[in-house]
Structure 1
Amino acid sequence: MKNLFSIFFIALFAFTSAQDKDSKETANRFFYELTFKPRKDSAKIEKVMTVLDIVKDRSVYRDYTMIAQDSIIKIQIEAMQKSGTFKDMSKSIRMPKFSEKIVKYYPDMKVQYIERIASGFSPLGIAYSETIKFDWKISNEKEKIGAYNAQKATAEFGGKKWTAWFTTDLPFQDGPYKFSGLPGLIVKIEDEGKNYSWVLQGNKKVPNWEELSYSEKISNMSLKVTEMPREKFEKTFSDFKKDPFATARPMMTQEVMSKTIPGMDGTIGDMMKKQEKMYKDFFNSNDNPIENYQPQDKKKK
């Protein structure tokens, strides 16, 4: 899921039936296919569908993989709740490629970058905020991108040179990831080295839109996040990636680790080892970030 909280945690929290109140409104959902190179030293290309949901006061960008499976997850979780038996869903649920969620607040376009980490056995949202001033150079070059008449613009961001194509046919000054600020929606954007390339594939209206997906709700997730300076965020998230169960491990006695859950193959300890490997495989699968971050003190040198 966008937060990548494991199926293990989903199953454990499913029995609490926690619900987070989430305002319902209609969203304009834009589907972007993201083609990317996960590793700097490899020509391997991967693809994933991402979405940009635009509502009255903000937009939300994220990996679409888990959202697309919400109805499947709901059916399986409700079956587990009814039977009281755990089922390992990791083999039937596709996992995402990216875990971040990016919220842009209108009209000032403040960007909030959110990740989920574990705090004991509870999910914790951590975030940093920034206001990005893109110095777009708009050219007269025009091209048809899908169904839209688009115009070219270029800018530098995150240590890379980017080429964007935007359309005034869609009156939203927004785009995938952190990109925004053009006089129309970005329908295609890629960096000079083609490490990351987003192309708009379609759009639809989503009535009764909720920011939290079903899997996020039953995992006890909330829209509330802990804001921190970016440098602290990077350190906190880096520590989590190195040891995802650091805060939970002290609570796991040998007695608890040796127990089993009905329907689970192996002990809780076995499941934790499996989930730890899943986390580390996920985080180690991409060493080619979208943007190259440098702490402020290093930038000044």
Structure 2
Amino acid sequence: MKKVFQIILTTTMVLLNAQNSANRFFYEMTYKPNKDSAKLEKEMMVLDIDQDKSFYQSYENIQIDSITNVIIKEASNTGFPDFKRMGNRRAQFTHQIIKNYPIREVLYKDRIAVDYYSYRENPELVWKISDEKQKIGAYNAQKATADFGGRKWIAWFTTEIPFPDGPYKFYGLPGLIVKIGDHAGNYSWELKGNRKIDRLAEASSVEGLLSRSGLSVSKEITKEKFTQKYEEYKKDPFAGMRQMLGQYNLSKEVSMSKEMRDAEKQMKESLTKNNNSIELLAKKR
């Protein structure tokens, strides 16, 4: 099996270097945000791949970042960025996942309140490849299964696209994953298309702006620490905001405003409703 993966990886690198560009794969993600409801929602995610790495995120993230970059550039003339032009655009999934080739680990990055945190992990995906095959979209695919994040996953990969990669943290099969979902129907991804792009969309204009202004930090921590911070955030989503405002002696005035109270209420309601994460927390013994 190691020889097969090495051949695939070598072929992939040759193809990518010859093309001198990146490949963008569009995955339609279908998910159940609330574990107590049967309602399903969708979001378009993308997996960008070049000769060195892959980069996974919401397509809405890329579009928002592109608009933000234009606004910031225009602000060099006007003196102040007009973020009202963004409207109410937001991605439901703000995390980004980077896999460096050859893949030995994944780097997971997300925003908690106004700060950006990342952690590294090896998902230790042990795939069981089946002889079962079927057509998924335009590709001949083969079935594989694995346990990960407290869920059982069924994947379909194709050797017609020789990248041992896939959406989210999934990787390690002898071909690109074109479809994957958990057996209970909480989350699934299906490849809907692909195209060439000039380069991976890694940069975040929003993150850069907040960092340069001193309003946020970017820090790499452990997965355990990240999970702890996110659980604390869900309990009090505006704690970081109040701390930041306190530095400017504005926390009391702003916290008393109706707008602040309404925003905090809406955030708590949203976090309560979106209670069905991709990975389930391990039960404490």
**The two structures share one fold, judged by TM-score above 0.5:** yes
Show the counterpart of 1:248: 244
- Kindly provide the amino acid, as one letter, of the partner of residue 292 in structure 1: L
Q: Is the 8 A contact 1:69 1:93 kept in 2?
A: no
Instruction: Write the distance in 1 (CA, Å) between the matches of 2:267 and 2:171.
Output: 31
| Matches of 1:220 and 1:227, distance apart in 2 | 14
Q: 2:141 aligns with which of 144, 150, 169?
A: 150
Deviation, 1:92, is: 2.2
With over 3 angstroms needed to count, the CA separation of the structure-2 counterparts of 1:210 and 1:220, relative to structure 1, is farther
Asked whether the 8 Å contact 2:97–2:169 carries over to 1, the reply is yes
Q: What 5-or-longer segments of structure 1 have no aligned partner?
A: 1-24, 259-266
Q: What is the alpha-carbon distance in structure 1 between the residues aligned to residue 175 and residue 96 of structure 2?
A: 22
| Unpaired runs of at least 5, structure 2 | 1-19
Cα separation, partners in 2 of 1:206 and 1:257, compared to 1, 3 Å? farther
The higher-RCO structure (CA 8 Å, 6+ apart) is: 1
Report if the CA contact (8 A) 1:128-1:230 is conserved. Answer: yes
Give 1:133's aligned residue. Answer: 124
- Residue by residue, what CA displacement relative to the aligned partner does 1:180-235 show, whole Å, maximum 9, x if unpaired? 110000000000111001000111121043411444443437xx952222222111
| 1:294 corresponds to | 282
Equivalent residues of 2:22, 2:197 under 8 A apart = yes
| Contact kept in structure 2, 1:66 and 1:94, CA below 8 Å | no
**What secondary structure, in the 3-state scheme, does the structure 2 residue paired with 1:67 have?**
helix
Residues 50-101 of structure 1 deviation map (CA, whole Å, 9 limit, x = unaligned): 1111122221211111312444444555556644567563872421111211
Q: 2:42 aligns with which of 41, 47, 65?
A: 47
TM-score by length of 1: 0.74
Q: TM-score, normalised by structure 2?
A: 0.78
Deviation at 1:126, TM superposition (A): 1.5
CA 1:217–1:229 in structure 2 vs 1: closer, same or farther (change >3 Å)? Answer: closer
Q: For residue 31 of structure 1, what is the aligned residue in structure 2?
A: 26
- Compute the displacement of 1:38 (Å): 0.4
Q: Which amino acid aligns with 1:248?
A: M
Listed one character per residue, the Cα deviations across residues 253-283 of structure 1 (whole Å, up to 9, x for unaligned) are 249957xxxxxxxx99666556545644543
Write 1 or 2 for the structure with the bigger share of helix: 2
Counterparts of 1:216-227 in structure 2, within 5 Å, are: 216-220=207-211, 225-227=218-220
The alignment of Structure 1 onto Structure 2 pairs a total of residues equal to: 260
RMSD, matched Cα: 3.1
Rounded to whole Å, the distance in 1 between the matches of 2:252 and 2:78 is 22
